Structure 1
Amino acid sequence: MGDLLLQPPMEWRRPKDICPTPQFIVDGATRMDVCQGVLNDCWFLSAVASLSMYRPLLERVVPVEQSFQKGYDGSFYFRFWQYGEWEIVKVDDLLPTQKGKLIYLSSSQKEEFWSALLEKAYAKLKGGYLALNMGFPHEAMVDMTGGVTEVLTVASLPMDLAGFLKPLLAKGALVNCANCQGPLEQQNEFGILFRHAYSVTGLENVKTQFETVELIRVHNPWGKTEWQGRWSDMNGPEWRNVHEEEQQRLGRVQREDGEFWMLVSDFRQNFDLMEVCHLSEQTLNILDGPQRPWQCTMHHGSWVPNLSNPQFHLTLLEEDDDPSDPELTCSFLVALMQKHERLRGVHLAIGLDIYENHGRHAYLSPMDLRLVRPLISTNGYAQRREVVIRGRLAPVEGDIFVPDQQGPEICLLSRDGVLANLVKSPGGTFLIDQLGGKMLTGSEKKLALEHCKSFVVLMDSRGLAQLDWPEFQALWDKIRKWTDIFLRFDENRSQLLEYPEISPALKAAGMQVDDFVLQLIGQRYTEPDMTISYPGFLYLLMKLDSMIHKFQAYDIVGMGTVSVNYRQVTAPVIDDTSPTVLLSHR
């Protein structure tokens, strides 16, 4: 689990060695079961506290059927969302203790251990307890919901903060907040800790003897300090004007349990950062959520120097259904996420730009990016796992551009009344085996003999090593068509296609490829200066065209998957010295 923060006498103990009757969950898992220890992972605890407000969501992460009695084998398992998939993380129940007490996350009920074991599983996922030291709640919220999270400054939010928060909370969004204006874990004059993550757990109109006020409920996972200003749970005189039944409805408790109510106006004055996790359609269905949830499209890829700068095509078609807004706009969220940055110990600075597409072609070249100003951008670069753009635009087409930073990534396109399309293969993946030499790159200005031989093999449907007239005519038609495409996209008439010109040229030939395939093409079919020659372009198209047709021939029932035997796999290698392309289409 990595190096721990404490020196001996730290001991690893099982729950049965900490208390005589350990329980996995006691009277349900609640936000009061999340009490911070000596580790600076309040960001994770805050997310857990928010998640505990929604029992179905928490039970997806924390399977409640586990116990220390029936079926107990010394291990427990949990589920976390990791880049599009739910992963099971299994851990033993040995927990770090000092003087017989848990030193990290614990429950307010001493015999309850689900929260401590959840923290251990998350630490295993991220690379150890030390990997959890400092972070942002939105990272943990995404890992436990699969949602899309945006980070907002409170100052940038509408003056009607309650009106902004109510629809978010009603839609099942998880909200966290923090005050970042002072030194770590020190308090301001009203008891709010600096650089400490809190959870927003409720928003209510409260009736007093004189008026109705808007109060917001905030939870501190540390549980040791509370709000000491107006409407303080401990000694706020304002509560004297609230009927006892109203106080019971709100769940007001006069003790330092970490949860408190405060005026919305005081919230704005004492918190400056807010994180909102928008739950996915699948998650909202679990909660029996609204009829029109956010819908997500996801794309995996990576940025490789000189090869790929991921770009996506976003089409906005449906206007927002908001009668109070006279403008015709479409709302959307775009999120870019780094993969495994805690596990790898690499925190890259990432950002997003959105440009309007003026209909020339989908791919924006480096020259285009220098000449055109983006419609919307993230606020510079940020060393975060995820950056998000929330936007509202008139129904248009736009291109999303990911600035250079090398590493694996995932892009989420979410919409509410928006249709999001990715510029990628209609589905599936090409896997191209490497074959070196100039025959592959096609560096010759004229068609080489090897190219011509390969064309014959790829067009020879009878296995005779020669073409009949219909086959030759079909080949010639392809060459003429692809030559026209090459000339059209060779804008500087260099007899070479620049790397940014390859993708639109392939698309014009009816062969859409995703970023992964484009990277392979750049690595194996281009010259050192990242250009592709005319012979190389023809050869690439011929190979792709041939393998697509072979795949379609194998996929007799049109299921999008094929099963091939050893002979079918090896035949292209024996018949053709060119690289083998395997196509999987869904």
Structure 2
Amino acid sequence: MSKSKDSPAAPRLFVDFSFPLDLQLQPAVQWKRPLELCTFPQFIVDGATRMDVCQGVLNDCWFLSALASVSLCPPLLKQVVPMEQSFQRGYTGCFSFRFWQYGQWVEVKVDDRLPTQNGQLIYLCSSQSNEFWSPLLEKAYAKLKGGYSALNMGFPHEALVDMTGGVTEVLMLQTLPQNLSSFLRPLLARGALINCANTLGPLEQKNEFGILFKHAYSVTGLETVSCEVELVRVRNPWGKVEWEGPWSDSNGPEWSLVSRKEQMRLGRVAVEDGEFWMSVSDFRQNFQVMEVCHLSDETLSGGGATYRPWTCTSYHGRLDPLSSGAPQYHLTLLEEDDDPTDPELTCSFLVALMQKHTRQKGILLPTQLSIYKVLREYGPVLSSGLQQQRELVLRGCLAPGNYIIIPSTSEKLYSTEFLLRILTEKGNTTVYDTRGRGQLDWEEFQALWDKFRKWTDIFMKFDVNKTRSLDYLEISPALTAAGLPVDEFVLQLIGLRYTEPDLTVSYPGFLYLLLKLDTMIRERESERERD
């Protein structure tokens, strides 16, 4: 029977002609859509998890271990992988993903043609044969970087930044505190993503306990079991080849010390799925490098009830040898850390200097971060030294006060654009929602409104010259009238943080300042009551 000329034509499926093809793949592979590989393909089956990340023949374990870490935070993964995509409803052969690039999220679209041999995917695949979100994400990341071949070998911290917008430190385990769990626990509590590697042998050969050399793993958990042993949960993105020492799945008699109920609490499964537990001491002995991706409150918006992330402030700038001086940025530290084990009243922070478009330009300049105390005449209180890295990260812990951050380069010929990010332990956000619901009830709103009315009257009273702003000398008596007196040191910090260039405070700035001070005082009073 011939087709009616009025019958609608089959929709044309999207073909991404801009995808950079690797000539070495042709004609060795066949590009097939999921509809050609199984009868009922699904974008996601039973949620997107770290178990959906199984490495193929491509040497991109650095990307896959980062992806496994990102999958532990659903709000974060949803920023990268739009979950509503489907092979049935609205299917066009086109799938979209998002990656962070220099301060903004960019969309990358690809078709769903994937490289196969003998009807099987040759690169990343899911443990579920009909699930395709992870291989499609790998293809989108390959497009961002210049093709599949561009994913051969790399460092997890680069992929972590591209999928989170976080700030990543590369740490040597031997330099970390002896009590490693006390270092790891607050990182995981703050939502940090952690990867690790053993660097002491030939590429992807194993040590005596089954740990692969120069291979990226994900750290996915930290728990203390009933026999008072601290265990780290680690995942191999291959989905196989696990730790074979104490507490292993295959040869771990130590698990007999732990009840079945507790093993279920840990999610322990005695099968070779790439995920395993090991003691913290064995973790230190079998891994040398750890990459930690710190996330900000902006990145983890929507997941903030679970994590206590950093607060991030960003600046865009340029290092130019022809410029008359280096750029300078203020860092004001007001609130000490909440760590009860630290006897020093200090404030933790991270400063990250990222050079832009280094791959495209083929130029990576040696850069340095220096931090100076304001009104101090001699050298920096903290410095990174010159380093040639895409993103230079400086971890600091200083006493409350006012500081200046100066990025610089020793390069005399080339200039570079940069993104400077400052992560602080506590931000300046105000917390009036005591129930953690993200909204105020009527009583809370009335209390806040009464304070605004009172503070508005005070502002109008001390705005003697009626300029709709307070002069610097009017700030202190206005704060005292509001019942929030401050000393000279705090007043100087207020002048640096809240005043305009002419050293005046606007009406909105005055309300914001009082809100911040009022919140800080109430939090301190609550802490004293708890103590």
- Range into which the TM-score falls when normalised by the shorter chain: 0.7 to 0.9
Say if 1:315 and 1:419, in contact at 8 Å, map to a contact too: no
Q: 1:130–1:310: structure 2 CA closer, same or farther, 3 Å change rule?
A: farther
State the partner residue of 1:250.
Answer: 266
Q: How much is the aligned-residue C-alpha RMSD, in angstroms?
A: 2.5
The Cα offsets for residues 93-140 of structure 1, whole Å up to 9 and x where unpaired, read as: 111222222222111111111001111111222222222222221222
State the partner residue of 2:449.
Answer: none
Q: Distance in 1 between matches of 2:174 and 2:107?
A: 39
Say if 1:316 and 1:419, in contact at 8 Å, map to a contact too: no
Q: Does 1:8 align with 2:27?
A: yes
Stretch of structure 1 that moved more, 344-353 or 228-237: 344-353
Q: Does 1:329 align with 2:364?
A: no
Q: Does 1:27 align with 2:43?
A: no
1:107-256 paired onto structure 2 within 5 Å: 107-207=126-226, 211-256=227-272
Q: 1:112–1:18: structure 2 CA closer, same or farther, 3 Å change rule?
A: same
Q: Does 1:392 align with 2:400?
A: no
Say if 2:370 and 2:383, in contact at 8 Å, map to a contact too: yes
Say if 1:292 and 1:416, in contact at 8 Å, map to a contact too: no
Q: Distance in 1 between matches of 2:253 and 2:339?
A: 40
Q: What letter is aligned with 1:253?
A: V
Say if 1:317 and 1:418, in contact at 8 Å, map to a contact too: no
Q: 1:343–1:120: structure 2 CA closer, same or farther, 3 Å change rule?
A: farther
1:80-91 paired onto structure 2 within 5 Å: 80-91=99-110
Gaps of 5+ in 1: 361-371, 421-509, 513-586
3-state DSSP of counterpart to 1:20: coil
Q: Distance in 2 between matches of 1:188 and 1:407?
A: 42
Q: Distance in 2 between matches of 1:212 and 1:287?
A: 30
Q: Does 1:320 align with 2:329?
A: no
Percent identical: 64
Q: Distance in 2 between matches of 1:126 and 1:204?
A: 37
The Cα offsets for residues 11-41 of structure 1, whole Å up to 9 and x where unpaired, read as: 2221112222211111111101101122222
State the partner residue of 1:416.
Answer: 425
Q: Distance in 2 between matches of 1:326 and 1:287?
A: 31
Q: 1:168–1:185: structure 2 CA closer, same or farther, 3 Å change rule?
A: same
TM-score of the two chains, using structure 1 as the length reference = 0.66
Misfit runs of 4+, over 6 Å: none
Q: Does 1:403 align with 2:411?
A: no
Say if 1:332 and 1:418, in contact at 8 Å, map to a contact too: no
3-state DSSP of counterpart to 2:351: strand
Q: Distance in 1 between matches of 2:171 and 2:196?
A: 9
The Cα offsets for residues 73-109 of structure 1, whole Å up to 9 and x where unpaired, read as: 0100011122221221111111122222222211111
Larger Rg computed on CA atoms: 1
Q: Distance in 1 between matches of 2:36 and 2:363?
A: 38
Say if 1:351 and 1:403, in contact at 8 Å, map to a contact too: yes
3-state DSSP of counterpart to 2:393: strand
Q: 1:132–1:351: structure 2 CA closer, same or farther, 3 Å change rule?
A: farther
The Cα offsets for residues 234-278 of structure 1, whole Å up to 9 and x where unpaired, read as: 121212332222222222222221100000000000111112222
Shift of 1:418: 6.8
3-state DSSP of counterpart to 1:403: strand
Q: Does 1:351 align with 2:357?
A: no
Gaps of 5+ in 2: 1-18, 430-500, 504-531
Say if 2:371 and 2:382, in contact at 8 Å, map to a contact too: yes
Q: Distance in 2 between matches of 1:19 and 1:245?
A: 38
The Cα offsets for residues 273-301 of structure 1, whole Å up to 9 and x where unpaired, read as: 11222211123331133696421110112
Say if 1:338 and 1:407, in contact at 8 Å, map to a contact too: yes
The Cα offsets for residues 169-218 of structure 1, whole Å up to 9 and x where unpaired, read as: 122111111112222222211111112111111111112xxx32111100
State the partner residue of 1:546.
Answer: none
3-state DSSP of counterpart to 1:281: coil
State the partner residue of 1:452.
Answer: none
Stretch of structure 1 that moved more, 234-243 or 314-323: 314-323
3-state DSSP of counterpart to 1:212: coil
Q: What letter is aligned with 1:378?
A: S
Say if 2:75 and 2:300, in contact at 8 Å, map to a contact too: no
Query: In the alignment, which of 375, 383, 386 is matched to residue 377 of structure 1?
Result: 383
TM-score of the two chains, using structure 2 as the length reference = 0.72
State the partner residue of 2:284.
Answer: 268
